[in-house]
Amino acid sequence: MRYAGMKSGVNGWLLVLILGMVVMWPLMSLGALLSSLSGFEQVYAKTEYAMWVQSKTVMWMLSIVSISLSVGGGWRLYRVHSRESVDLAVYTMWIAWPLLSLFMVIAAVMILKNPRAGNAYSPAIYHLVFAVLGAIAGTMYLKRSRRVQNTYRLPVYV
């Protein structure tokens, strides 16, 4: 239901969320990935080269998928003003942000199997915590905002 005289359009916090999905998440993901990889590189010797290459490949692939999903969901939210865009953005935030971040941590632990690398995991763990908090905040905003309801023609939630 559209409210007469109420805010609509891609502005304000909605624009901040979209920029977060399209610009900030990719930059943060790359930063966390490069920080984690440099930490792991300091821990692992050349004797464990095969595991190291496999871990790097898996982590890069998961990062590329996460970034692609986030950019795609944010772009759709910006361009297509329909209920499906909001639903897709919510799913994208939960899959691309916390779920794939968790997979990155699990992949690193399973492939590398090294307790010596404790500090190398910390950027990935911080990234995971931020991803969960960001997905919660983004979902709450998309489900409760009057601007989102007006822009995407959503029903009013109480």
> How many folded domains does the chain comprise?
1
- Let me know if residue 158 belongs to a domain: no
Q: Which of the residues in the chain have pLDDT under 70?
A: 1-5, 44-48, 114-120, 156-158
pLDDT tens per residue, range 98-117: 999 899 888 877 877 765 55
Angle separating helix axes 49-79 and 83-94, nearest 10 degrees: 160
Assigned domain for 37 exists: yes
Q: What is the pLDDT of residue 120?
A: 63
Residue 87 included in any domain: yes
Q: Answer whether residue 156 is part of any domain.
A: no
- Domain membership flag for residue 7: no
Range of the domain at 104: 12-151
- pTM for this model (two decimals): 0.84
What pLDDT shows up at residue 114? 64
Is 102 within the bounds of a domain?
yes
b (16+ CB within 10 A) / e for 61-75: ebbeebbebbbbbbe
Domain membership of residue 6 (yes or no) is no
How far is it, in rounded angstroms, from Cα 140 to Cα 92? 14
